[in-house]
Amino acid sequence: MLTAEAAALAVKVGKGIVKLSRRLDLILAEKEVVEEPLAIPVPNVKLGPTQPQMRKALRQLLKDTENESPDPLGEDRKKILETVEENPQNPLLFAFLKKYLPEQALGRVLSLEGDFITALREQHPEIAADADLRVTAFYVKAGRDFRNKDYSWRIALTVVDVLAEFGGENMALFTRDERVQKIVGAILQRFGEADLQKTDSTRELLRTALASSLNAVFEVREAYNPENQWIKALLDALATARDALPEEEREDFLVGLFHGKGYPPLVSAVLEVAAGRLDEDDAVNFKDVAADLLQETAVMIKANPTFEDFFEDHWGDLLRAGLRSVEAHGPGLLRRESPLLKKVLISVAGELATEPDHKLLSTDALVGMVEAAVGAVAANPELVKEKVDEKWLAELMGSVAETLARKGIRNTFTRQGLENLLRDTLATFARHPELIVEEPGLARELLGDVLESLSRVESFVAEDLATAAVGGALSALADNPSLVKFRYPELVVLFAGKIGSLVKEKKLTRVQGSEVLAVVTSVVGESPEVFLQIERDLANWAVDAVIEVSHGNESGLLAGATLARVLRNVLSALAQSGKAALKSHPTEDLTGHLMSLLNAGLARTEKELGNLIHLPILPVILGDLVVSWARGEIAVVDPEDDNFRRLFSQLAMRAYGRET
């Protein structure tokens, strides 16, 4: 016995099949009329006599009848004569011809179809005898269909469409959970209403499918009541922003946002935040921030339509960066009474919309920049009034975008290399917002100019050197933000360019170049008074001296990594007693004096190696030698001078004492 339930199911399935077969029937009917050939014959053409033929025939007629009595042409003779000789108008000629020589007025017939049938009967009598085959001879095929998809595609979509409708109407057959029924039912119903079979392209289908599912989910979001309040906040924000738009723009708005690349990472960030130290009240505040950002940006996009694609890709990144900032600086940023985060995000979006190079900003760069901006604003709320200080923000963002936009830089550095450097730079700014509060253009001054100075060096060399220079400088700036005031970045740029040239000229290896830059940025950053205030050329002279001596040293004592170690010790010695050196030695040829000293030290080293010293201690001894020289303790710089020899031995002993 068939149960009532089974019978009901059978009837429902049957109904589904009826619906499907009806739709398929219509599609196949359309296919028939669209794709089937159309038999079209060309008409027979009657070609009457030409003008010369008519004139000739009528002249002959005039001649043949001129002696007949009574005259068969009567009063027409004169008119015919005039027409033939004077002003031959074809219709008039034809009228006389038809009247007096009707058989000649018949002309010829061009019967292409008749000729074809005749030829067919002669050459292919078997086809000519078959009535159905003869019809096919007249077929004009439909040719190309300008829609993107053929009928197999439309049939497949119809099946999906009907299944969606069936599923939407009969959700109770699949699940007893009412919440799930509501959600899946809403999605399927939307799919069913969307008339998928009428979409002509994959893109359109995806868009329709996405719009159906997203909008359906939003409509029934109370049914699934997500336990994670942050996810709920995000969905509520999207729904609020969507509902603020005119009805005809809503579906596209959501689809655009969800097409963007930034949405999945945003959800991960939201989930991470939920597991962190923020609570449910913060989630509500976050909802307001997100909704306001989306609504404000919808207005900006109307004013700047070119910004739409970028925003669709990056709205998730903006909010994610905002969340990370909240984690770093506390939920106070979200609060309604002091909506700093909202103001920063909306201001950033506004700047991006008008920044011509915004498309160059990657996800990492954007996130880093927002974090840096939020960090600076959190540290200095006076930057924010109605919105974030426009000049300041424009300078900050412009400095990043401009760095990325410089042609020389883009030609030299790989995208990944550039991204890494930018990410590290912005991360430093985010950790030390004081760096950019006063100098919002620091990204350009440091990163942009360093990269520019290296843009003539081979790509893979330039990246290593840039990493060393920028990394060293950022480290120094992080340790001592006041370096910015001493134009430290300028010096770093100068050294980057100089070392880049030396590497290009093969005076330094790539590794040596990187090591030298790391040493210079670090030691100079540690002693700004000497190297940035007292004498900005001092480090430069020292670097010249060490590198020149290394280059001229035939025994290779300063080869490889020893060079950078020696430079570090020499620079440290000058940091320690540079002021004294500048007092006791003329600055005009300080490089020359230093070279003499270092050469003398190396000459002694060659003699004492294996007796008194071994090579690893050399940098320490040379550093100490520079300190003694700076203080005026070396009267004669000569490796064979007794005092010099004695001093060298003492310094060696002291170095070993320090080492042990």
Partner 1 sequence: MRNFRGFVFCLLAVSLVSAMAGCTTKQEVARVVAETNAALVSPYLEEPGKAGMTIAWKEPIERIDRLIAQYPDEKKLVNHLRLRQAMLLTVYEQGNLAEERWKAVDGNELTTERDKSLHACWPHLVWWYKRAGIADPLDFQEMEKAEEALGGLDEILAPLAPGSDTKKYLGTIRAQIALKKANDSDVSSSEKKARVQEFLVDSLRSYVSVFQDKDVEWIRENRIQRSGELLSISDFRYRVWLGEMIKAYRETASALEMEPPWEPQWIQNLNMNP
Name the nearest CA neighbour of 334 among 262, 394, 280, 389.
280
* Cβ atoms < 10 Å from Cβ of 195: 12
Please report whether residue 2 would count as binding partner 1 according to CB under 8 A: yes
Least distance between partner 1 and beta carbon 147 (Å): 5
Return the residues of window 107-136 that contact partner 1 according to CB under 8 A: 107-108, 110, 112-117, 119-120, 122-124, 127, 131, 133-136
Q: Name which of 94 and 258 has its Cβ closer to partner 1.
A: 94
3-state secondary structure 571-593: HHHHHHHHHHHHHHCCHHHHHHH
Select from 66, 139, 252, 306 the one that contacts partner 1 (CB under 8 A): 139
Report in angstroms how near the CB of residue 151 gets to partner 1 at its nearest: 11
Applying CB under 8 A, which of residues 70, 91, 556, 610 lies at the interface with partner 1?
91
Residue 195 engages partner 1 in binding (rule: CB under 8 A)? no
Closest CA to 360 of 318, 418, 319: 418
Collapsing DSSP states into helix, strand and coil, what is residue 476?
A: helix
174 binds partner 1 (CB under 8 A): no
With CB under 8 A as the contact rule, the residue among 66, 145, 195, 529 that binds partner 1 is: 145
Question: Minimal CA–CA distance to 626: which of 634, 615, 636, 617?
Answer: 634
Longest dimension (CA), the chain: 157
N-terminal to C-terminal alpha carbon distance within the chain:
100
Q: How far is the CB of 65 from partner 1 (least distance, A)?
A: 24
Residue 394, classed as helix, strand or coil, is: helix
If binding is defined by CB under 8 A, does position 38 make contact with partner 1? yes
Nearest distance from C-beta of residue 212 to partner 1, angstroms: 21
The two tokens of residue 11 are: 């009837």
273 φ, ψ (degrees, to nearest 5) = -60, -40
Q: What's the closest the beta carbon of residue 203 comes to partner 1, in angstroms?
A: 18
User: How near is the Cβ of 149 to partner 1 at its closest, in Å?
Assistant: 11
- Please count the other Cβ atoms lying within 10 Å of the Cβ belonging to residue 267: 15
The three-point CA angle 251-255-261 to 5° equals 160
Per rule CB under 8 A, is residue 138 in the interface with partner 1? Answer: yes
In the bound state with partner 1, the residue whose beta carbon lies nearer, of 51 and 555, is: 51
| Cα dihedral 160, 165, 167, 171 in deg (nearest 10) | 160
User: By CB under 8 A, which span of 140-148, 208-216, 288-296, 308-316 interacts with partner 1?
Assistant: 140-148
Cα separation, 192 vs 426, in Å, equals 48
Binding part of the chain for partner 1, among 1-9, 74-82, 178-186, 293-301 by CB under 8 A, reads 1-9
Query: Judged by CB, which is closer to partner 1: 16, or 330?
Result: 16
User: How many residues of this chain bind partner 1 (CB under 8 A)?
Assistant: 81
**Residue placing its CB nearer to partner 1 in the complex, 113 or 479:** 113
Piece of 44-52, 271-279, 318-326, 571-579 that binds partner 1 (CB under 8 A): 44-52
At closest approach, how far in Å is the CB of 125 from partner 1?
10
CB of 146 to partner 1, least distance (A): 6
Residues 117 and 127: their CA atoms lie apart, in Å, by 10
Binding mask 329-368 for partner 1 (x = CB under 8 A): ----------------------------------------
Q: Which of residues 24, 62, 180, 328 is near partner 1 by CB under 8 A?
A: 24
Residue from 71, 78, 79, 142 binding partner 1 (CB under 8 A) = 142
Out of 49, 185, 316, 322, the only residue in the binding site for partner 1 (CB under 8 A) is: 49
- Using CB under 8 A as the binding rule, whether residue 4 contacts partner 1 is answered as no
Is 25 a binding residue for partner 1 by CB under 8 A? The answer is yes
Whether residue 647 contacts residue 628, with contact meaning beta carbons closer than 8 Å, is answered with yes
CA distance 181 to 172: 7
Residue 81 or 137: the one with the smaller Cβ distance to partner 1 is: 137
In the complex with partner 1, the residue whose CB is nearer, 87 or 225, is: 87
Contact between 39 and partner 1 per CB under 8 A: yes
Quote the least distance from Cβ 78 to partner 1, whole Å. 19
Least separation in angstroms between CB 61 and partner 1: 18
* Shorter beta-carbon distance to partner 1: residue 142 or 172: 142
Q: Are 149 and 200 in contact (CB under 8 A)?
A: yes
Enumerate residues 6+ apart whose C-beta is below 8 A from 387: 343, 346, 347, 350
From 12-20, 172-180, 298-306, 516-524, give the range in contact with partner 1 by CB under 8 A.
12-20
d(CA 268, CA 223): 23
Sign of CA pseudo-dihedral 397, 344, 382, 274: negative
Alpha carbon distances (Å) from 38 to 135, 142, 315, 396, 477 = 10, 7, 53, 67, 80
- Dist CA 569 CA 79 (whole Å): 124
